[in-house]
């Protein structure tokens, strides 16, 4: 141990962000373990580190006693007086041990202890570094691919971009620069796992914060986002400044802001007629958020018109939306997309009914209610008749 040791500590601190004191503690722990392996106990072992020389010293501490029962823990008064006439019963004397005497196997064990301590420390540092970016966008480089993930180099580790977190139709090559949303950071014994996404609804929100100053400074707030990546997104917004139009701000003059957001994605779709893949744009509907849930649902069903919104008395998060007959397909959307996005945006389970379908259901309900009201009257008449017959029989 020497100046080389101090230099190694400095490098580990600067490059790996490992605290020197943690490494010293690991070395002391491993040397103590090696001492116990060599001598069968470690109660009498004291290890010190010379910060100036970069040396570790190992000592055995023995107590001065009249009669020795354990030579590793005790020394007789007569032997102690041979060392110094100042020693008395009960004094503690330190004897330096040669680290080399611990043996090659013990040294290897010490190395493994140190390496494991370092690995844990590096893992903890890495975890803390990326945990603070959870919920944010990071820029990385496409590193490699396998059947499950695209691996994105974020600096000190590779993040995992799964198929479901990719935008359908986007293609990437090794070394491409890529922006990803960090949605989960895990610390486990095998290492730190960072999961990233480009399809996550919050990815849209973070992109808008980057590209639109009024969103970044909080003047316009994005309240919720529902998304089917690469195809269509609904964004609910509100303004905290009465002089600022939330929807107009998000869209921008001539759609400039929306175009900047959409330019961050480049999905492609196969054109069967042309026989080639063509670029497509992800449509973004900007919705006015309002506190009244009925009005919010009304807005969320856009571009379809809505006649009325009715809430289920038994289920507070279910709503029936009635639309004109000629707007039913528009309200539902292609493969149910519009109502599905509206439901995710508002947090309500939404049933779409056409006006005629709703009227038919209401008519059926009224008919059943009328039948239910008439039934008790018939029962009364019937029981009265029975009573008359009984009296006649008497």
Q: Which residues pair with 33 in a beta bridge?
A: none
Task: Give the Cβ contact number of residue 373 at 10 Å.
Answer: 9
104 shares its domain with 157: no
Domain limits for position 352 = 290-394
For 42-68, what is each residue's pLDDT tens digit? 888 898 888 887 778 889 999 999 999
Q: Please report whether residue 256 resides in a domain.
A: no
For 122-170, what is each residue's pLDDT tens digit? 888 889 999 999 999 999 999 999 989 999 999 989 999 999 999 999 9
Residue 139 sits in a domain of what CATH number?
2.40.50.140
Nearest residue to 341 (alpha-carbon basis) of 260, 281, 284: 284
Share of the chain above pLDDT 70, in %: 89
Instruction: Among 104, 127, 150, identify where a domain stops.
Output: 127
81 shares its domain with 139: no
Average pLDDT of the residues of the chain: 86
295 shares its domain with 364: yes
Task: Give the Cβ contact number of residue 248 at 10 Å.
Answer: 13
176 shares its domain with 74: no
Residue 269 pLDDT level (bands cut at 50, 70, 90): confident
Instruction: Among 78, 95, 127, identify where a domain stops.
Output: 127
Kindly report the backbone phi and psi dihedral angles of residue 356, in degrees, each rounded to the nearest multiple of 5, phi listed first: -70, -40
- End-to-end alpha carbon distance in the chain: 123
Instruction: Among 127, 147, 175, identify where a domain stops.
Output: 127
For 12-39, what is each residue's pLDDT tens digit? 777 766 777 877 887 788 788 888 877 8
Residue 348 sits in a domain of what CATH number?
3.30.300.20
83 shares its domain with 156: no
11 shares its domain with 90: yes
Q: Please report whether residue 76 resides in a domain.
A: yes
Is the sign of the CA dihedral 63, 68, 71, 73 positive or negative? Answer: negative
For 285-314, what is each residue's pLDDT tens digit? 999 999 999 999 999 999 999 999 999 888
Residue 105 pLDDT level (bands cut at 50, 70, 90): low
Q: Please report whether residue 331 resides in a domain.
A: yes
Q: Does the pLDDT value for residue 74 go beyond 50?
A: yes
- What CA dihedral angle connects 240, 132, 158 and 182, to 10 degrees? -30
27 shares its domain with 120: yes
Region 281-287: mean pLDDT is 93
Nearest residue to 126 (alpha-carbon basis) of 178, 179, 194: 194
Q: Please report whether residue 40 resides in a domain.
A: yes
Q: Does the pLDDT value for residue 376 go beyond 70?
A: no
Kindly report the backbone phi and psi dihedral angles of residue 319, in degrees, each rounded to the nearest multiple of 5, phi listed first: -140, 145
Distance CA 89, CA 141 (A): 69
Distance CA 262, CA 250 (A): 12
**Total tally of structural domains belonging to the chain:** 3
Q: Please report whether residue 242 resides in a domain.
A: no
116 shares its domain with 148: no
Q: Please report whether residue 385 resides in a domain.
A: yes
Q: H or E segment at 331?
A: helix 328-332
Kindly report the backbone phi and psi dihedral angles of residue 215, in degrees, each rounded to the nearest multiple of 5, phi listed first: -80, -40
Angle between helices 293-300 and 337-346 (to 10 degrees): 150
120 shares its domain with 139: no
Residue 63 sits in a domain of what CATH number?
3.30.1480.10
Q: Please report whether residue 301 resides in a domain.
A: yes
Distance CA 223, CA 220 (A): 9
- What CA dihedral angle connects 388, 392, 393 and 394, to 10 degrees? 110
123 shares its domain with 14: yes
pLDDT for 54 equals 77
Q: In this structure, are residues 218 and 182 in contact, taking their beta carbons and an 8 Å threshold?
A: no
Q: Please report whether residue 243 resides in a domain.
A: no
Is the sign of the CA dihedral 203, 208, 214, 220 positive or negative? Answer: negative
């Amino acid at each position: 141990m020497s100046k080389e040791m101090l230099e190694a500590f400095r490098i580990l601190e600067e490059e790996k962000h490992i605290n020197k004191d943690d490494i010293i503690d690991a070395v002391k722990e491993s040397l103590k373990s090696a001492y116990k392996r060599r001598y069968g106990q470690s109660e009498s072992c004291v290890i010190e580190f010379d910060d100036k020389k970069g040396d570790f010293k190992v000592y055995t501490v023995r107590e001065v006693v009249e009669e020795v029962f354990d030579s590793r823990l005790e020394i007789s008064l007569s032997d102690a007086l041979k060392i110094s006439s100042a020693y008395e019963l009960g004094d503690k004397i330190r004897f330096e041990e040669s680290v080399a005497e611990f043996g090659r196997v013990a040294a290897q064990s010490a190395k493994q202890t140190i390496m494991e301590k370092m690995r844990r420390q590096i893992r903890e540092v890495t975890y803390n570094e990326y945990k603070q970016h959870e919920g944010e966008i990071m820029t990385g480089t496409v590193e490699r691919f396998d059947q499950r993930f695209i691996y994105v180099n974020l600096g000190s580790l590779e993040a995992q971009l799964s198929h479901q977190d990719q935008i359908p139709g986007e293609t990437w090559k090794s070394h491409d620069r890529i922006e990803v949303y960090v949605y989960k950071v895990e610390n486990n014994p095998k290492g730190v796992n960072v999961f990233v996404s480009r399809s996550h609804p919050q990815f849209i929100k973070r992109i808008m914060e980057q590209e639109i100053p009024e969103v970044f400074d909080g003047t316009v707030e994005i309240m919720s986002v529902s998304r089917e990546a690469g195809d269509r997104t609904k964004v609910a917004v509100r303004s905290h400044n009465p002089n600022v139009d939330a929807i107009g701000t998000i869209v921008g003059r001539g759609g400039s802001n929306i175009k900047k957001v959409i330019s961050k994605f480049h999905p492609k779709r196969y054109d069967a007629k042309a026989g080639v893949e063509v670029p497509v744009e992800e449509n973004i509907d900007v919705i006015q958020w309002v506190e009244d849930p009925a009005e919010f649902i009304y807005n969320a069903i856009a571009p379809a018109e809505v006649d009325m919104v009715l809430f289920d008395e038994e289920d507070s998060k279910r709503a029936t939306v009635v639309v004109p007959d000629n707007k039913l397909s528009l309200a539902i959307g292609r493969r149910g997309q519009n109502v599905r996005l509206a439901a995710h945006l508002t947090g309500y389970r939404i049933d779409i009914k056409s006006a005629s379908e709703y009227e038919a259901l209401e008519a059926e309900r009224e008919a059943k209610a009328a039948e239910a009201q008439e039934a008790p009257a018939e029962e009364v008449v019937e029981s009265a008749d029975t009573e008359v017959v009984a009296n006649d029989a008497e």
